[in-house]
């Protein structure tokens, strides 16, 4: 029943998204339209309006409305956000390109010193969008700090949308009736509300539910587990495998927050745990946290959880490196629930000493019906287990075979190349795509 509800809800949001994207085109068709305008000019305007609507809706996609992300999961939403950004920019660029092609005299509008203000606003918005996309795509290559990128990403997007709206208003052809003005005003107010939610309302809510550090535990694999407890509130409920955004050494109003999966059991509400591998400036400071330091948590998010598939006869967990963290949350939770369903963990690492939670995973085999297969790229001398990388031969040999869908659920988390390879292998094995689920840590 819950699975069906999620599917129906997901379809509903897609239909609403399409309606909001096409709404500006419907606005063009309502009421009087400018006379003497050829087809290609009107077509370019329609592309520009739809592209602007997509850009404005990007703020909704990243606003962390739980009811919006629930049917899909955050990784899918952010992937869609990245891809649709390119489509939206392409539509807006095509809008400008067509105007230039069929009316070459419009090239003068690119002269920002002499062009009318409506053109200045539109061209500047286009430049800002191009800059925002370029910086986002090549952020790592340009060595731009994540927090600084987030700040400027938000500023550029906000200013671009405002200037685009100014362009529409100054042109004035399609806001010349009360109905059209109501529609545009309603869209603008909703966009303002979304900004207020992200920048004011949600941070205030988070500020009221602080957490304090209990301890920081060193783990294998150059990772650290930070354990925190709620202060003055009951904490939050989450599904094992989900993640939250952590703000440390800053306030919830800042952009210095980072997403991490829960590694603790969902059945233990008195504290939360996140296991973080050193991989950058922020993660390298985790080990310096002291008991009593304040932490802010925004969550829980994500659809990567065994709780979303309670019907399963068993679960297969395929992890690589620190990708074990959401799996560990699910294993710990299932152990606390005394769940006796068959479980299979395939865990890939470079070395045996770098296997995070190695000892605890062995202990969990006493509490769970759990089979563990370690795959080591650089195994120690005398190693008798699996070597190299996860292969299709291995998966075919150990994954339970079932001709029925929704019998075994498979969860995959780890480095991007590993996940892509495993997904391809499972597909070749004839496993239905709805029976395996991936969690990608790259949300930006």
pLDDT by residue for the chain (444 residues), tens digit each? 556 677 788 888 889 888 888 877 777 676 666 666 677 888 888 899 899 999 989 988 888 887 777 777 777 888 888 899 999 999 999 999 998 888 888 888 888 888 999 999 999 999 999 999 999 989 888 888 888 888 899 899 999 999 999 998 898 877 777 777 777 788 788 888 888 898 899 999 999 999 999 999 999 999 999 999 999 999 999 999 999 999 999 999 888 888 999 999 999 878 999 999 988 778 888 999 999 999 999 988 988 999 999 989 999 999 999 999 999 999 999 999 999 999 999 999 999 999 999 999 999 999 999 999 999 999 999 999 999 999 999 999 999 887 577 789 999 999 999 999 999 999 999 998 889 999 876 655
Count other C-beta atoms under 10 Å from residue 140's C-beta: 10
Chain CA centroid to CA 390, Å: 26
Domains in the chain: boundaries: 2-205, 212-301, 311-439
Residues in Cβ contact with 431 at an 8 Å cutoff, skipping those fewer than 6 apart: 399, 410
Q: Residue written as tokens 């009421």?
A: 31
Sign of the four-CA dihedral 393, 397, 403, 405: negative
Give CA–CA dist 222/17, Å, rounded.
Answer: 43
Report pTM: 0.85
Give me 94's structure tokens. 């095509």
Give CA–CA dist 334/265, Å, rounded.
Answer: 8
Fold of 311-439: Rossmann fold (3.40.50)
Fold of 212-301: Elongation Factor Tu (Ef-tu); domain 3 (2.40.30)
């Amino acid at each position: 029943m819950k699975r069906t509800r999620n599917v129906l809800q997901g379809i509903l949001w897609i239909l609403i998204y399409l309606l909001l994207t096409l709404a500006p085109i419907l606005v063009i068709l309502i009421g009087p339209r400018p006379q003497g305008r050829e087809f290609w000019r009107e077509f370019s305007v329609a592309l520009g309006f739809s592209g602007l609507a997509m850009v404005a809706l990007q703020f909704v996609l990243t606003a962390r409305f739980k009811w919006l992300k629930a049917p899909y999961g955050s990784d899918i939403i952010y992937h869609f956000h990245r891809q649709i950004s390119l489509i939206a920019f392409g539509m807006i660029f095509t809008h400008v390109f067509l105007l230039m092609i069929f009316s070459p005299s419009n090239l003068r509008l690119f002269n920002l010193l002499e062009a009318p203000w409506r053109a200045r606003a539109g061209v500047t918005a286009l430049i800002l969008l191009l800059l925002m996309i370029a910086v986002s795509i090549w952020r790592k290559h340009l060595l731009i700090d994540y927090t600084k990128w987030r700040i400027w990403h938000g500023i550029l997007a906000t200013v671009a949308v405002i200037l685009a709206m100014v362009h529409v208003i100054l042109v004035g052809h399609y806001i010349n009736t009360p109905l059209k003005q109501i529609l545009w005003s309603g869209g603008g107010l909703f966009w303002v509300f979304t900004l207020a939610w992200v920048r004011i309302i949600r941070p205030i809510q988070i500020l009221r539910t602080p957490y304090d550090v209990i301890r920081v535990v060193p783990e294998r694999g150059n990772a650290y587990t930070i354990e925190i407890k709620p202060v003055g509130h009951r904490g939050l409920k989450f599904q094992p495998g989900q993640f939250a955004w952590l703000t440390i050494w800053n306030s919830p109003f800042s952009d210095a927050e980072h997403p991490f999966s829960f590694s603790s059991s969902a059945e233990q509400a008195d504290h939360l745990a996140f296991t973080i591998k050193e991989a950058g400036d922020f993660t390298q400071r985790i080990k310096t946290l002291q008991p009593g330091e304040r932490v802010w948590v925004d969550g829980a998010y994500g659809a990567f959880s065994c709780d979303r598939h309670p019907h399963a006869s068993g679960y297969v967990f395929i992890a690589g490196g620190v990708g074990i963290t959401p799996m560990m949350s699910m294993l710990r939770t299932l152990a606390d629930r005394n769940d006796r369903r068959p479980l299979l963990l395939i865990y890939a690492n470079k070395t045996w000493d770098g296997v995070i939670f190695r000892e605890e995973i062995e202990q969990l085999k006493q509490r769970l019906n759990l089979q563990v297969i370690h795959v080591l790229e650089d195994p120690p001398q005398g190693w008798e287990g699996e070597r190299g990388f996860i292969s299709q031969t291995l998966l075919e040999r150990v994954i339970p075979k079932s001709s029925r869908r929704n019998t075994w659920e498979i969860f995959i988390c780890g480095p991007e190349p590993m996940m892509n390879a495993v997904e391809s292998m499972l597909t070749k094995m004839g496993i239905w795509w709805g029976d395996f689920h991936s969690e990608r840590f790259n949300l930006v």
